Structure 1
Amino acid sequence: MTKPPTFEDLLASTQRSAIHLEMRDGYMESDPSFIAWKAGKRNLPEDNEPERRRWLTWVRQATDRGAVIRRARVFSVPESDYLRFEHHVSDANVRAGEQIAWLPRRRATDIAFPGNDFWVFDNELVLVLHFTGDGESPEDWMELTTDPKIRDLCVSAFEAVWERAIPHSEYRPV
């Protein structure tokens, strides 16, 4: 049986683009970085240094290959603590080459969304993300598909959000 690809594998094989839509107001609140942020600790090395935060290295490697990585977040206002934390640590993501935009949920009412957060790699492969009610990742949290209907819905939703979202450099949480 073939071992499924890791997220690192998926991003490493991306040649042109990776888009990511997040629609929850909270994720993995057991994350030590989030807990430290809530306690007032800001700009920790584990949030900002590629050697300590692998995501930043993966993004830089992909963007250095010419891939464009875009993340859009649809969220409630006022923002949850977790979304304020994400905004804070997203500065490092942007420095690594990721483009990020923010769309308040009230401005998204007319957009048709899939039921889950997702990634689309090179406009072909969709990674559907499943979370528990409290934002944690269950064992089977990643589902891969090339179903064109799912891909088209995901791409359409993402592009509709991106078109009206606020760039990270301009968005300030309430």
Structure 2
Amino acid sequence: MQNVPDFSELLAGAQHTAVHLEMRDSYGIAGEAADFETFRRTGVHPDLAPESEGWSGWVSSVRGALARGVVVRRARIVSEPVTDYIRYEHAGTVVNLAAGEQVRWLPRRQASDIALPGNDFWLFDGRIVRFNHFTGDGASGGPEMCEDPAVAKLCASAFEAVWERGIDHEKYTV
């Protein structure tokens, strides 16, 4: 198994950009299962406080990157009508924005002619790719790191194409 640095280490090492492309309509991340179930029952995201224990590490990492001049962007390709999980993510995105991330959404039908890698990824400074693998039910399948210039170029091209077509979070309704 490949030894992959923690995400926080990679973000801390970024000097210019950190971009994230998400392409699944549902994730089964154990750490957010209770919050997601609450959201499904109530329609209200239970944790929208950037300084809460659940978000503080993430928010601190992103703000630290921004303070160093790193631009942090996230794009999500989603099927429509959206799943309950995407509604949950959309509601929680206010925290990503509060941390300083820029976020856009792209309906999947508008991505058909974009060459996309097979997995979600983070791309740091256009050269280090951290793929996020998931199991069929959306649980984490573990990360993989790649520094192959051709792979980084594919990921950068895919992200920029999605970003260009994407809808700013504030204008995308679910």
Normalising by the residue count of structure 1, what TM-score does the alignment of the two structures yield?
0.91
Distance 1:49 1:69 in 2: 16
Output the CA distance in 2 between the equivalents of 1:148 and 1:80: 34
What is the 5 A alignment of 1:91-102? 91-102=94-105
TM-superposed CA distance for 1:41, in Å, is: 6.3
State the match for 2:24 in structure 1: 24
**Alpha-carbon deviations, 1:131-155, whole Å to 9, x = none?**
00111003xx110010011111100
Change (3 A) 1:128 1:66: same
Question: In the aligned structure 2, how far is the partner of 1:159 from the partner of 1:135?
Answer: 25
2:170 is paired with a residue whose SS is coil
Q: Is the 8 A contact 1:33 1:47 kept in 2?
A: no
Q: Number of residue pairs matched?
A: 169
Q: How many angstroms does 1:102 deviate by?
A: 0.2
- Deviation per CA, 1:2-43: give whole Å up to 9, x if none: 964111111111111101000000012642221121121635
The reply to whether residue 33 of structure 1 matches residue 51 of structure 2 is: no
Does residue 171 of the first structure (1) align with residue 152 of the second (2)?
no
Q: 1:127 to 1:40 in 2, by over 3 A?
A: same
Name the aligned partner's letter for residue 56 of structure 1: V
2:16–2:71 contact (8 Å) kept in structure 1: yes
Q: Is the 8 A contact 1:27 1:135 kept in 2?
A: yes
Counterparts of 1:53-132 in structure 2, within 5 Å, are: 53=55, 54-132=57-135
Verify the 8 A CA contact 2:28 2:139 in the aligned structure 1: yes
Closer/same/farther in 2, CA of residues 103 and 41 from structure 1, 3 Å limit: closer
Give the CA deviation at 1:51. 4.0
Contact 1:26 1:82 (C-alpha < 8 Å) held by counterparts: yes
Identity %: 47
Residues in 1 aligned to 2:84 and 2:10: alpha-carbon distance in whole angstroms? 30
SS at match of 1:130: strand
User: For the aligned residues, what is the CA RMSD?
Assistant: 1.6
In the alignment, is the contact (CA less than 8 A) between 2:48 and 2:94 conserved in 1? Answer: no
Q: Deviations over 1:53-106 (max 9, x none)?
A: 121221111112111000000010000000000000001110110000000000
Using the size of structure 2 for normalisation, the TM-score is 0.91
Q: Which runs of 4+ in 1 moved over 4 A?
A: none
Question: Does the C-alpha gap of structure 1 residues 162 and 3 become closer, same or farther in structure 2, counting only changes over 3 Å?
Answer: closer
Confirm or deny: 8 A CA contact 2:128 2:145 kept in the other structure: yes
